[in-house]
Structure 1
Amino acid sequence: MLKEWNQRRAARRVKPGDGRPLKPFRWWQLVGRVLFYLRLTGLDGRRTVYAVDVRRWGDKETGELRADLYLDGRHHARSKLPARFPVEGGRVEVRMSAFGLKRCHYVTTEGTEHQLVPDRDSAEGRRAYLDRAHPALSRVIGSLSVVMLLVSLAILVPQLVEKALPPTLGTFNSPFDLPVWLNAAVVLGSATAATERALRLRYHWLLDGAAG
Structure 2
Amino acid sequence: MTREALRPLRRTEVLSRSLHATEHAGAVYTVEVDTNDDWQARLYRDGERQAAADMPAAFPVPGGRIEVDGSLYGVTRVHLMLDSGEERRLAPVAGTAEHLRAQLARRHPRVSRGIGAAAIVILVVNLITAVPVALELLTSIPKVAAHFGTFTSPLALPAWLNVALLLAGALAAVERVLTLRSNRVLDFETMWASG
TM-score under structure 2 normalisation? 0.90
Runs of 4+ with >6 A deviation: none
Which AA in structure 2 matches 1:149?
A: L
Report if the CA contact (8 A) 2:80-2:88 is conserved. yes
SS in 1 for 2:187: helix
Q: Cα RMSD (Å) of the superposition?
A: 1.5
CA distance in 2, matches of 1:86, 1:68: 12
User: What pairs with 1:1-212 in structure 2 (closer than 5 Å)?
Assistant: 19-40=3-24, 42=25, 47-59=26-38, 65-165=39-139, 166-168=144-146, 169-211=148-190, 212=193
SS in 2 for 1:105: strand
CA distance in 2, matches of 1:205, 1:57: 26
Deviations 1:149-207 (A, max 9, x none): 00001112211211221322122232210122211111111111011100011122222
TM-score under structure 1 normalisation? 0.83
Match of 1:7 in 2: none
Report if the CA contact (8 A) 2:126-2:189 is conserved. no
Which AA in structure 2 matches 1:39?
A: E
Gaps of at least 5 residues in structure 1 are 1-16, 60-64
Which AA in structure 1 matches 2:115?
A: I
Which AA in structure 2 matches 1:20?
A: E
Which AA in structure 2 matches 1:87?
A: V
Which AA in structure 2 matches 1:150?
A: V
State the 1:57 CA deviation. Answer: 3.7
Deviations 1:33-60 (A, max 9, x none): 10000112x3xxxx3101001112433x
Identity over aligned pairs, percent: 40
Deviations 1:5-29 (A, max 9, x none): xxxxxxxxxxxx9612111111100
Gaps of at least 5 residues in structure 2 are none
